A and B are shown apart, each in its own frame.
Chain A
Amino acid sequence: MAWTIRGRTGEWELVCGLEIHAQVISKAKLFSGAATSFGAEPNTQVSPIDAGMPGMLPVLNGFCVEQAVKTGLALDAEINKVSIFERKNYFYPDLPQGYQISQYQHPIVGRGRVLLDLPDGTTKAIGITRLHLEQDAGKSLHGAREGVTLVDLNRCGVALMEIVTEPDIRAPEEAVLFLKKLRSLLRYVGTCDGNMEEGSLRCDANVSVRRLGETRLGTRCEIKNVNSMRFVAKAIEYEARRQVELLENGGIVEQETRLFDAAKGETRPMRSKEEAHDYRYFPDPDLLPLELDDALVARLRAELPELPDAKKARFVREYGLSAYDAGVLVAERAAADYFEAVARGRDPKQAANWVINELFGALAKRGLDIEACPLPPEALGELLDLLAEGRISGKIAKEVFHEAFESGARPRAIVEARGLEQVTDVGAIEPIVDKLLADNPAQVANARKNPKVVGWFVGQVMKATGGRANPELVNDLLRKKLGLG
């Protein structure tokens, strides 16, 4: 994606990499049996292990390990046979152990890649540097009560996957595409729900700029808190422009951590820390090195669902869909499944059009996910069958669709109950046509000179029949009677 910043002194290129924290879908925490459900009363999902009580020991949750491996496979990444949990030491009230158990030198997942479909129809690979497992910290609530900080440890110890990309992103929009694609992959394999509002998917961006053509990397700033798809592009663009302006005015970019303020649409340095952190990483002596056997990885690989890229290629190949439509349909596994259920035994392109235009439109209007769709795919299929059988017109079909979507009633039942079936009987239409011609001699004369006026007559017949007359039949009949051949 060609995207540059035109500065006073020339063109600048963005270099950006992302660090994503994805909360692992798991009933229990990474090293304790405590529950992980969102929105529970504060401090009700805390085991003595999470609370850092004396003598408590972490025990690795094997399910979280499987989730990380699955994610690694979805990212087309190397799975490391041996990985090591280390302690990242620092003091903070929401970090009860005084250290976070994370992976540092030996992550569970190594290099991989994610393919992006760019708007110009080309594909771009974003490199994945690594994925590692770590514990989340608790939550500090400042100012909730006068003069004190409250700490909620429910989140403390919840498994996170930290996914780090290579600095391959060159446009703010690419970051958004990457996040969408990553979210899609995570949801396909069922390892993270991708919910940014609830914080199960969080993103930091490492942003630097350099003059176009320069190959060395500039000094980067880490932008924290870009926690919605909407803000990712904004934050990166703001930061890149800030750096260009700074550099063009003879300044230098300080390597620092900056916070994105969504309200103001700007980044600013995070409150200065008294001293640089030295996390004193070292292997956690309470945990053995994590060794994965080939059989486990092979089993998880075999259990992987068809991933979006493969599905998209298949939709293009099998259903003859455009790459764009296929891409839209596969973004959510549930949507792709819905489409396939509708397309089975029907015209797939028509099915795709209805799913993308009518169904997605109706869902967006009601703010619903495909999982909560009130119209089952069989119902939409029924509607398409009515269309294909010529029993309703396209216009009526849309009407029936919306009624079915709202009421949950089946299209066939709606058509029958409301007598919407298309009129294809010439005997029923002819008297209406005759009367119309007789009543409008001037228009008849017009039509004979300008055949486009036939459309006006068609409209009148449709109006008179409540839209039920077969428009082609009406058209043929009119042309014959007007002597237009």
Chain B
Amino acid sequence: MSGLNRLGLLEARTLLRRREISAVELARACLAAMERGRALNAFITETPERALAMAEAADARLARGEGGLLEGLPIAVKDLFCTAGVRTTAASRILANFVPPYESTVTAKLWAEGAVLLGKANLDEFAMGSSNTTSAFGPVINPWTPPGTEPGLVPGGSSGGSAAAVAAFLCPAATGTDTGGSIRQPASFCGIVGIKPTYGRCSRFGIVAFASSLDQAGAFARSVADAALLLQAMAGFDPKDSTSADLPVPDWVGELAPRVRGLRIGIPEEYRVPGMPAEIETLWARGAEWLRAQGAELVSVSLPHTRFALPTYYIIAPAEASSNLARYDGMRYGLRVRGRDLVDTYKRTRGEGFGAEVRRRILIGTYVLSAGYYDAYYLKAQKVRRRIVEDFQRAFERCDALLAPTAPSAAFRIGEKSDDPVAMYLNDVFTVTVNLAGLPGISVPAGLSAEGLPLGLQVIGRPWDETTVFAVARALEEAAGFSAVPPRAVEV
């Protein structure tokens, strides 16, 4: 059977349960697609043997009429999730050969539900980036890159490999992490669905930390329903993560319907940023109209501290990162570059082990936490963060969910913003607020730019209300009817 790599999670699950296809066939199709799609550089490590062994085991369970939520379904895992016995690099030289002896809670849950690991997806180094160009394993190519375009378009970041793999039909779904937009922005750039749940919904245990108070795992898929299914398997309380929430996980897939009648959808005024392309403004208005047409009420809301979100984020995230990355010192695991003495060994190890963007953020973070600067930067940023949270609390008194663009542009060329970090950071303008407030957010492909590149719309919900987020996303998905296929999609 050809084209198995094009099946979505739910479609494939139905066929697997009916025994019309086997998990091994499905895995083989994806592995073949991965091989053909290697030019995209979506994977740092492919795990074909493990995939086939897991698929065989899944087939055995399916044959006995058993199996979990994801039995036999192949997925890609962002190479930031520790996988026992499988190299986990965080796309960094410093962890290039690191093989964890433990499994992240999220991936452990996936394997317990019968999912099949295809490989570890490329990303920005330590998830720091918006273009997947900071990976020590090379940039990822967006499958939407038009033929003949060199050097290619970025898939967004940091979960660029995951997004590109799903968009190019290398796999039906993938995990990601989102600290400032790292799931939603690449989902938008690659024309797929990406959900970042409420902070605390998924355990962070075993995920290489970037910024602990912002990091949250989430899911990529080509439909809202598939994303809901994957997230449902990933989510849940974990006593090993003190910030994970002891709340039941709703049956998002079972309850999923494009229901927006009676919902109040907030349109945040402050998200009309200067210089935003007209086509994005148009798309946003069209999205709002789709929801109104399906019975939602549109309300204009104000998030007055929005303009402070980006500087706040770029203080808090690097501050936490500077401390989180201190453990990569060459002493116990990972790269060690010997120097004259201890301090020299530290300097060489970290100087050679970390790429430029990671070093930049460590320096920024170290600076903002330093004596004499702490109050002006870190403490102030925490206060602004509190205001941003309150902005959302007030907005959600007047509406049930917010609609906004996901990113201020479509995918850009590799290298385009690499020499201007501020321009690069502006990519996160609509997404970082959601991380600062710990809210659930989803990006849904809603249309194509004039250049034929996908554009996403973002739905933001109340804390723990992924249910509404999925419902609104599903309504947008239905109205948008997005079915365009990227030029570099892989056929097997």
CB distance from B173 to the nearest CB of A (A): 21
Report B-chain residues with C-beta under 8 Å of the C-beta of A87.
323
A97 with B327: in contact, given A55-B104, A282-B369 (CB under 8 Å)? yes
Contact among A48, A98, A278, A286 for B101, CB-based, below 8 A: A48
**Complex contact B104–A91 (CB within 8 A):** no
Report A-chain residues with C-beta under 8 Å of the C-beta of B478.
none
**Complex contact B323–A286 (CB within 8 A):** no
Report A-chain residues with C-beta under 8 Å of the C-beta of B209.
54-55, 286
Q: Is A177 an interface residue (CB 8 A)?
A: no
Q: Which of chain B's residues has its CB closest to A60's CB? A: B242
Q: Is B13 an interface residue (CB 8 A)?
A: no
Q: Is A250 an interface residue (CB 8 A)?
A: no
Q: Which of A437-476 contact B (CB under 8 A)?
A: none
**Complex contact B242–A89 (CB within 8 A):** no
**Complex contact B204–A91 (CB within 8 A):** no
Report A-chain residues with C-beta under 8 Å of the C-beta of B389.
none
**Complex contact B213–A285 (CB within 8 A):** yes
Q: Which of chain A's residues has its CB closest to B327's CB? A: A52
* A55 vs B323: C-alpha distance when bound (angstroms): 13
Report B-chain residues with C-beta under 8 Å of the C-beta of A98.
323, 325-327, 329
Q: Is B370 an interface residue (CB 8 A)?
A: yes
For chain A, the bracket of interface size reads 20 to 34
**Complex contact B206–A55 (CB within 8 A):** yes
Q: Is B100 an interface residue (CB 8 A)?
A: yes
**Complex contact B102–A89 (CB within 8 A):** no
Q: Is A376 an interface residue (CB 8 A)?
A: no
Task: Indicate with 1 or 0, residue by residue over B230-253, a CB within 8 angstroms of chain A CB atoms.
Answer: 000000000111110000000000
CB distance from A323 to the nearest CB of B (A): 49
A57 with B240: in contact, given A48-B102, A93-B342, A98-B323 (CB under 8 Å)? yes
Report A-chain residues with C-beta under 8 Å of the C-beta of B369.
89, 280-282
* A91 vs B345: C-alpha distance when bound (angstroms): 12
**Complex contact A278–B371 (CB within 8 A):** yes
Q: Is A58 an interface residue (CB 8 A)?
A: yes
**Complex contact A54–B82 (CB within 8 A):** yes
Q: Which of chain A's residues has its CB closest to B206's CB? A: A55
Q: Which of chain A's residues has its CB closest to B382's CB? A: A283
Q: Which of chain B's residues has its CB closest to A93's CB? A: B331
Q: Is B132 an interface residue (CB 8 A)?
A: no
Task: Indicate with 1 or 0, residue by residue over B300-323, a CB within 8 angstroms of chain A CB atoms.
Answer: 000000000000000000011011
CB distance from B180 to the nearest CB of A (A): 15
Q: Is B212 an interface residue (CB 8 A)?
A: yes
* A60 vs B243: C-alpha distance when bound (angstroms): 12
Task: Indicate with 1 or 0, residue by residue over A96-140, a CB within 8 angstroms of chain B CB atoms.
Answer: 111100000000000000000000000000000000000000000
**Complex contact A51–B88 (CB within 8 A):** no
**Complex contact A288–B242 (CB within 8 A):** yes
* A56 vs B342: C-alpha distance when bound (angstroms): 25
Q: Which of chain B's residues has its CB closest to A153's CB? A: B332
**Complex contact A151–B331 (CB within 8 A):** yes
Report B-chain residues with C-beta under 8 Å of the C-beta of A288.
242-243
Q: How many A-B residue pairs have CB under 8 A?
A: 96
**Complex contact B366–A59 (CB within 8 A):** no
* Residue tally, chain B, CB below 8 Å to A: 44
**Complex contact A280–B102 (CB within 8 A):** no
Report B-chain residues with C-beta under 8 Å of the C-beta of A54.
82, 88, 90, 95, 98, 100, 208-209, 327
* A151 vs B205: C-alpha distance when bound (angstroms): 26
Q: Which of chain A's residues has its CB closest to B343's CB? A: A274
* A87 vs B212: C-alpha distance when bound (angstroms): 13
Q: Which of chain A's residues has its CB closest to B205's CB? A: A57
CB distance from A407 to the nearest CB of B (A): 54
Contact among A57, A151, A287 for B204, CB-based, below 8 A: A57
* A12 vs B453: C-alpha distance when bound (angstroms): 81
* A286 vs B207: C-alpha distance when bound (angstroms): 12
Task: Indicate with 1 or 0, residue by residue over B463-474, a CB within 8 angstroms of chain A CB atoms.
Answer: 000000000000
Q: Which of chain B's residues has its CB closest to A286's CB? A: B212
Q: Which of A34-65 contact B (CB under 8 A)?
A: 48, 51-60
Report A-chain residues with C-beta under 8 Å of the C-beta of B322.
89, 280
CB distance from A261 to the nearest CB of B (A): 24
CB distance from A342 to the nearest CB of B (A): 49
Q: Which of chain A's residues has its CB closest to B94's CB? A: A54
**Complex contact A99–B326 (CB within 8 A):** yes
CB distance from A34 to the nearest CB of B (A): 14
Q: Is B412 an interface residue (CB 8 A)?
A: no
Q: Is B378 an interface residue (CB 8 A)?
A: yes
* A426 vs B101: C-alpha distance when bound (angstroms): 87
Report A-chain residues with C-beta under 8 Å of the C-beta of B327.
52-54, 96-98
Q: Is B290 an interface residue (CB 8 A)?
A: no
Q: Is B374 an interface residue (CB 8 A)?
A: yes
Report A-chain residues with C-beta under 8 Å of the C-beta of B212.
285-286
Q: Is B346 an interface residue (CB 8 A)?
A: yes
Report B-chain residues with C-beta under 8 Å of the C-beta of A282.
319, 323, 369, 374, 378
Report B-chain residues with C-beta under 8 Å of the C-beta of A52.
327, 332
* A55 vs B204: C-alpha distance when bound (angstroms): 7
**Complex contact A280–B323 (CB within 8 A):** yes
**Complex contact A55–B213 (CB within 8 A):** no
CB distance from B292 to the nearest CB of A (A): 39
**Complex contact A55–B331 (CB within 8 A):** no
A96 with B100: in contact, given A54-B82, A87-B323, A285-B320 (CB under 8 Å)? no
CB distance from B352 to the nearest CB of A (A): 16
A55 with B95: in contact, given A48-B102, A282-B374 (CB under 8 Å)? no
Task: Indicate with 1 or 0, residue by residue over B55-98, a CB within 8 angstroms of chain A CB atoms.
Answer: 00000000000000000000000000110000010100001001
**Complex contact B346–A91 (CB within 8 A):** yes
**Complex contact B242–A58 (CB within 8 A):** yes
* A60 vs B242: C-alpha distance when bound (angstroms): 8
Report A-chain residues with C-beta under 8 Å of the C-beta of B332.
51-53, 96
Report A-chain residues with C-beta under 8 Å of the C-beta of B211.
285
**Complex contact B82–A89 (CB within 8 A):** no
Task: Indicate with 1 or 0, residue by residue over B31-60, a CB within 8 angstroms of chain A CB atoms.
Answer: 000000000000000000000000000000
**Complex contact A286–B104 (CB within 8 A):** no
* A286 vs B206: C-alpha distance when bound (angstroms): 13
Report A-chain residues with C-beta under 8 Å of the C-beta of B98.
54
Of listed A57, A151, A288, residue having the most chain B CB within 10 A:
A57
A59 with B323: in contact, given A54-B95, A91-B346, A93-B342 (CB under 8 Å)? no
Task: Indicate with 1 or 0, residue by residue over A270-304, a CB within 8 angstroms of chain B CB atoms.
Answer: 00001000101110011110000000000000000
**Complex contact A59–B90 (CB within 8 A):** no
Report B-chain residues with C-beta under 8 Å of the C-beta of A60.
242
Report A-chain residues with C-beta under 8 Å of the C-beta of B370.
278, 280
* A50 vs B325: C-alpha distance when bound (angstroms): 15
**What 5 new A-B contacts, CB under 8 Å, besides A280-B369, A280-B374?**
A54-B209, A59-B240, A60-B242, A87-B323, A93-B342
Could you give 16 example pairs across A and B, Cβ below 8 Å?
A: A54-B95, A54-B100, A55-B82, A55-B207, A89-B369, A91-B329, A97-B327, A98-B327, A151-B331, A274-B343, A280-B323, A280-B366, A280-B374, A285-B243, A286-B209, A286-B243
- Interface residues of chain B, those whose CB is within 8 Å of chain A, are 81-82, 88, 90, 95, 98, 100-102, 104, 204-209, 211-213, 239-243, 319-320, 322-323, 325-327, 329, 331-333, 342-343, 346, 366, 369-371, 374, 378
For the complex of A and B, list the 7 residue pairs with the smallest distance between their C-beta atoms, beginning with the closest. Answer: A98-B326, A285-B212, A280-B369, A285-B213, A52-B327, A55-B206, A54-B208
